[in-house]
Structures are given as C-alpha cells and as structure tokens.
Chains A and B, each alone.
Chain A
C-alpha cells in the first residue's frame, strides 16, 4: 500500500515538473516568434561596435561580439582571482586575530567582521568606488618613488596599473569575502580540541609554532569546504561589477542584450560561463582537499 502511494506521489511530481518546463518553453517560442528573432548564435560573429575600457587582450570596436564576451570573461576571471587572493590573505589574518590571545586585536577583528557582514555588498562597492577611489584627489594621494601610487586613476605598482573600477571591485569583493573567510577560519580553529593547545603549550612551543604545526593542520579539513563556498560566492558576487562600471562578463552581456535583443542566448552564455568558472573553482578546491586528506596518514 505504502509503496503504491509513493509511486503515485512521484508520478505526480514528475507530471508537475514537466508541465512547468513545457509552459516555459511554450512561452519562449511564442515570444521568439513574436519578436521575429528566432534562436541562433550567428550574431556572435558580427562586429560589436562598442568600446571596452579594459581589455587584457587587444580589442577594438570592430571585433566580434564573441571576442567582446571572451574579453569580459577574462576581465571577470582577473578580478575574481585577485579578489580571491586578497580575501584569503585578509580573512586568514583577521581569523587568526579573532582567535588569538591578544584581546585588543580580537576586539578589532570582531568589529571588522560585524560591520562588513552586516552591510550590503552593493553599498560597500559603491563606497570603495565613489568614496574610496573617485573621492581621492586628482593629483596623487599616496606616491612612493614611482613604485606605488594611489589616486583617483586607480593603483599603480611598478608599472602595473589597475583602474579605479578594478581596484574598487577588488577591494569591495576582497574585503567583503574576507569577513566570511575569517569566520570559516575561526570555526576551523575552534574545531580543534582545547587539549591540543594545552599539549603544545606545556611542551614550551610558541603560540605561533603551535598554531602552524599543530592547530592549522588539524583545522584544515574543517576549513576547506567553507572556504570553497565562500570562493563560489565571491565569483557570483563579481557580477555586481556593473555597479561600478567594470566591464566584466555580466556587464558586457547586458550591453549586448541592449544592442541585439538576444536575451535568451546571452543568458545561456552567461549561465554557461559561470557554471564553467565555478566548476573550475570547486574542482580545484576538491583536488586540494583530496591532497590534504591523502597526506593525512591518520584517521
């Protein structure tokens, strides 16, 4: 009796899901016919005829839409990877300070985490862009012997120039994610039994040595999964680039939709790009996780 009821429910759910998908596809075809666009990707190879402020590879407005999208993807990748490194660095520092013995540092890092986690990312991006970088004077804000320069033009470091849009996005995403990473690291450290701290302390090991040789290796298995999900969030949050005018894949898609009306195709491209990007991130983290587990010779 029970089994028959289970089959009945499952059939019901199947029919429901299939009908919803059917309705969506039906809507889509009707609308595509109405706008007389059809569903194809041949427009990708027409000239984009819009300029891009930032392009890591050569680009001009006579290049194709496909090339513009690829440049956007590279721009996204560039900001995601740099913000990921910044967030990990800051987050680790703050996480250590939060769990450390120094109560002043602990208080400061707790304040940092609270303020950053309690305010919207969009607001923080605006802050970094309009107040952080554009708010700077036109003449140079910090200038150290042609090595390091911060102004409203962005950051210059040994001939490497970062635009103010990129810098704002880098700091916005990096600082925002670092607060979450700090909590992941703190959680990992707290998951190690107190006895381990007492054991290394009673052997005369310094706090630093104990943290790196005893606590961190045991905390890593608890840290990696949380870190992965923060990295994935960072990648997805990078689409807020549009708010500060940085030409990431989402911003370029938006421009293309406005020009061509190819919303469906563009969204498919966008979804696929992010799927690929995040699969890349989560698979790399999975590999790191496996290496760590393999290097553990204990259970």
Chain B
C-alpha cells in the first residue's frame, strides 16, 4: 500500500503558547478516506491546511506524494504539492466574477498550460459527474449552496489531483442540501480517490471512511476504524463529543 500522506510530530503554536497542533502524526494510504473529527478549535482545519501549505508549522515533517516539507518548507515544494492536491472549503470560495466553467478551467489553463478547448471539455465532463452541467454558463451567485459546493469539488478535480482535502464541506449548507454534496463525495470515494475530510457528518464517516481521527486541543485523542470509534470509543473525551453530536 502506497502512503500518500505521512505526517510526523506536527506542532504549531500561536504566540500565547496555545497549541493549534500538538505532536500530530498520521498516515493516509492511497485510495483511503480519513475523516477528522473534533470540537471547534481542536485544530482539525489547521491540520489539513498544513497539507497544501495554507498553514505553516513549527516542528515535525510532512511527506505528501513523496514531497517532503519541514518547518521551513519552501514555496517551490508547496507549489508542486498544490498542483497535485485539491481542496474544498467550507465557504466554497468560488470566484464570483468568473462563470462556473471558467472557475473550473482557470487552473488547468494557467497552471497546467492545457488548451482551453480541452480544459473546457474536461470541465463539462466533471460538471456532468456532479449533475450540474446545465449551469456551466451561470455565475456562482445564481446557484444554491449545494450546487456551489459541487462546483467547488469539480474545480478541485480539474487538476486531476491525487489527494482531495475537504474542510467542513457541508457546514455552511442548508440541511436539505447536505446530501447532494455528501453523495458526490461518496461517489469519489468509490472511484478510489484518496481523501481527508474534516466533518461532523457521522453517517458519512460511518459509510465512507476507512479511518477516523479524533482531535481535541491540537492533540490526536484517538485514531480507529469507524466501526470501533462510533460503537465503542476508547476515550472519555471522544464519547463525550459523540454524545453531544447525537443530542443535536
């Protein structure tokens, strides 16, 4: 099994000594789905944002697709990683002044130097996969949240990434729009995409993930299979968190 992400002893502190990441280690193998859970402020977003260089860290090292980053990682390596790793954000972050199709073809045309026609053809294919190809000429503000997030997934897929990072992809959506996004993610997982997903969606984690990682105060509290984690979590802190989620 080929490891895609290996993180070793990642530590990041803020100025007041608060640790956003405290000695975090993890491995994600090819074709696997890792779900990261934890209360807000536990460092889960910070963690996955270090994997494409949006956050720096103070100690430890990361190996992503064979590219090694340490705490003084340089821009060039990060640039190489970003070309091979896609990211989907909580707030979609689509470019409002570009049409849906332009949002998707921007990176292939400018970063991979592909022909516009070829990029558009592939973009339309991806929009078809997401069930939103009829919106290609529209602008982000004309779409619902769920549709926008599916465009964001298509945009992340346009560079044919080997790893996808999801930072709470359904937290900004209306409840009835959540499933259309989760379904798209389920299909990706089935196609063998390697994914790291920060989410509170227990159903998704149970069905799709191979591994669940639970964080609190920047520390990894436990890592286990979803079956074990949701039926019989080892730590008090994890059980407390799951109880709280159930109540909501």
Contacts and interface: CB of A to CB of B under 8 A. Distances in A.
Interface in A181-216: 193, 195-196, 198-206, 209, 213-214
Contacts of A9: none
Contacts of A213: 106, 110
Contacts of B56: none
A119 interface: no
A298 B141 CA distance: 7
Interface residues of A, number: 21
A217 interface: yes
Contacts of A214: 95
B111 A204 contact: yes
A204 B91 contact: no
Nearest to B112: A204
B153 interface: no
B206 to A, nearest CB: 28
B52 interface: yes
Interface in B76-117: 79, 82-83, 85-87, 89, 91, 93-97, 99, 106-107, 110-111
A129 to B, nearest CB: 44
A217 B111 contact: no
Contacts of B86: 202
Interface in A201-237: 201-206, 209, 213-214, 217-218
B228 interface: no
A106 to B, nearest CB: 17
Given A200-B95, A203-B156, 11 more contacts: A193-B91, A193-B93, A198-B89, A199-B95, A205-B110, A205-B111, A209-B110, A213-B110, A218-B96, A298-B97, A298-B141
22 contacts: A193-B91, A195-B91, A195-B93, A196-B95, A199-B94, A201-B53, A202-B54, A202-B87, A203-B107, A203-B111, A203-B156, A204-B82, A204-B111, A204-B159, A205-B106, A205-B111, A206-B79, A217-B97, A296-B97, A298-B96, A298-B140, A298-B142
